[in-house]
Chain A
């Protein structure tokens, strides 16, 4: 059989046999079933264990309602702020070389390597009663720790790297040529940003925002340190779930958990829908990056 030179040069990759394939696929499916599908199923099973009425009653509980809206509210503040920061950081890191650039990249990653509990304590040390800014804040009647502002700050801190980390490598790899082309074609700074820079980063940005959002909604450690855990006031959903569970209200805890699970599922469905809608473009763009 004739083989050309390139085929010869590549290491021979043999397609795995049917048996091997079945075993591998089976293993992967079993893994997914045990670690992902089963727990998700358990959440809903437990949530509905006392029937639909009990489930709806648990959700209608004012404390759970308040926790749900607080969680969404915090995410609505933290995620856009981190998105704007991530875009600004990726822009300046991709287009400019300046002293301290490496340090900035390292700093952005810092929250990932700090335990969330420590992050929460940092905020207490800064803004708490005995903290550095404590006296000043108290004198002006501003409450940050054991109140919503502290929880927002904690969430921002913990979710800080997610958007930036997704798009910085992307922006660096794509360089500034397209932006320069846009400018010579007559685009203004904002036109360049919205028509070229943002769209070419948009898939990375979307993943970053999804990750950031998931973490913002699910954050427990840092928020629990600064929240004070007043039910109906400073409890987010994860904190409320913990409180319910500790109070032996297992079914209610799982009902509240199902809300978090639903939030996660909705975001995943949205992402899939977006990708489906733009499938041609994604496919084309991926090929360009590979080639």
Chain B
């Protein structure tokens, strides 16, 4: 019963501004897919086009091979949950949920039965008589979901489903939605700008920017093998280090070694996540700790060497055990990361400099 969505060459320009630029995307039946991107990346427009609320200039959208672009939104059988829920404020919760059935002229008894079942599903059994204004944000969200599910949609679409909720409710709802999806197995697409949300919830994440798909894959694939610098930057905090590559050795602008890579030569940029930096106290170390901020379970550590500034994150316990503190001299090793050479767009992995590079490091830089 799950529906496969196939999108090809979807493009849209509004007053000369390109909103979507040749989107090709296939969403397998029953999969939970996240459209992830900054605001203005076109993700919401793409969602609205699948729903039928916006029209593309070019391209196709197929549900199970059937062209749905020629069909108006009301005939597509799409359940859409709006960012601000868009609940009918003048209707009770029960009438909100039953709306899709009522406009189809379903018999009253069947509507009542279905509404009751959905209220149970979203755990709001006793709130059917309330008005949306009398509910909390999380409850409204679940009513919106129940209303969308009432029409037994072929596809479920959610626009920033947790955007307007506070952190705790957001986390609970996320888990609950994940469970719900596993049980119902309905093809689901949701839009988010929060990479953590996308990674936790989705089977597959589609990263968008500037109206194009930058990369699509499982959360693990994206995190391990980002297609380009945008994806890398967007998927988490990152240090960007301008570098040059000589014989597979990656050197900082000041000349010291950062790591190894496959690329032979040329300029480039190293991308390193804050947690991919190892720190060891060493009185003769070339690095200096500029600042240390303990924020809950992690310590953020500023590191400087010859004009280069990095930010590292260590578990607070580890930072404590190592006795790290501001103004301390330390040795630093980049344990992982990627290099994007100027000549290429695809990133290559950065291997640690350790062992192999040690003699070289001493030889090239003298005292360090």
Contacts and interface: CB of A to CB of B under 8 A. Distances in A.
The SS class assigned to the A binding surface is helix
A284 B134 contact: yes
Q: Count chain B CB atoms within 10 A of each CB in A180, A184, A285 and give the residue with the most.
A: A184
A187 B78 CA distance: 12
A285 B99 contact: no
A191 interface: yes
Nearest to B100: A185
A195 B74 CA distance: 15
Given A177-B86, A178-B88, A186 B133 contact: no
B74 A187 contact: yes
Interface string B85-114: 011111100000001101110000000000
B103 A285 contact: no
Nearest to B77: A186
Contact of B80 (A184, A195, A202): A184
A285 B133 contact: yes
B84 A177 contact: yes
Interface residues of A, number: 25
A48 to B, nearest CB: 44
Interface string A173-201: 00001101111111110010001100110
A281 interface: yes
Of listed A178, A185, A195, residue having the most chain B CB within 10 A = A185
A34 interface: no
Nearest to B150: A185
B132 A186 contact: no
A23 interface: no
Contacts of A178: 86-89
B344 interface: no
B73 A184 contact: yes
A285 B53 CA distance: 26
Given A184-B74, A185-B151, A288 B53 contact: no
Contacts of B89: 178, 200, 284-285, 288
* Most chain A beta-carbon neighbours within 10 Å: one of B84, B130, B133: B133
A291 B131 contact: no
Contacts of A180: 53, 73, 80, 82, 86
Contacts of A191: 103
A246 interface: no
B79 interface: yes
Contacts of B102: 195
A154 to B, nearest CB: 36
B259 interface: no
B12 interface: no
Contacts of A280: 131
20 contacts: A178-B86, A178-B87, A178-B89, A180-B53, A180-B73, A180-B80, A181-B86, A181-B87, A183-B74, A184-B52, A185-B150, A186-B74, A186-B75, A186-B104, A187-B74, A187-B103, A195-B99, A199-B88, A288-B89, A291-B133
Given A184-B51, A188-B103, A288-B131, 18 more contacts: A181-B80, A181-B147, A184-B74, A185-B99, A185-B103, A185-B147, A186-B151, A195-B99, A195-B102, A195-B103, A196-B88, A199-B88, A200-B89, A202-B90, A281-B90, A284-B89, A288-B133, A291-B133
